[in-house]
Amino acid sequence: MNAYLTAGLTTLFIVLAVLAALALAYRQRLYRRTGSVRHLLELADRLEVDLKNCRNGLQQAHAVMSLNPDLPAESEKEARSAIEAGLRSLLQQRIWIRDKAPRATQHELDQAVATMSEARNRLRPLLAGLDQAQHDLDDAMREQIRRETDA
């Protein structure tokens, strides 16, 4: 009887250890999924801010450079269209997150995060260039105003 009790307790402890390991693995998987979705939403928010900053910067630059700010130049129309397309694409991503992310595989979530990160990385140099152009334009405008007041 003692051998049966020992074998039974050993089996019980093994089963409990396996269940604990499975519960831990499930918990880690759940934390990873939650973290991926949270990161995806944060990236979407940042990308939206970047796109809106880009749109505002282009509008400001156009207003300063244009003879008639109400009539956008062809290049400004193209840039505005590209930004609007980016915002529409971002909206589609947000809809995917809302509708599909809860049932998406971890691989699909990782792909979505990577895609969103790549989009932000491609936009960063453009934003930096736009920011530099805005500063250069501001400097040129100040210089022009200074010349006009000196004359």
Residue 19, amino acid: L
Provide the residue ranges of all domains of the chain, joining segments of one domain with +.
Answer: 2-150
Average pLDDT over the chain reads 86
pLDDT tens, position by position, 10-29: 999 999 999 999 999 999 98
CB burial readout 94-125, b (16+ within 10 A) else e: beebeeebeebeeeebeebbeebeebbeebee
pLDDT tens, position by position, 117-126: 998 888 888 8
Instruction: Note the pLDDT of residue 78.
Output: 79
| pTM of the full structure | 0.71
Tell me: pLDDT of 147 over 90: no
pLDDT tens, position by position, 27-75: 998 899 999 999 999 999 999 999 998 888 888 877 767 655 555 566 6
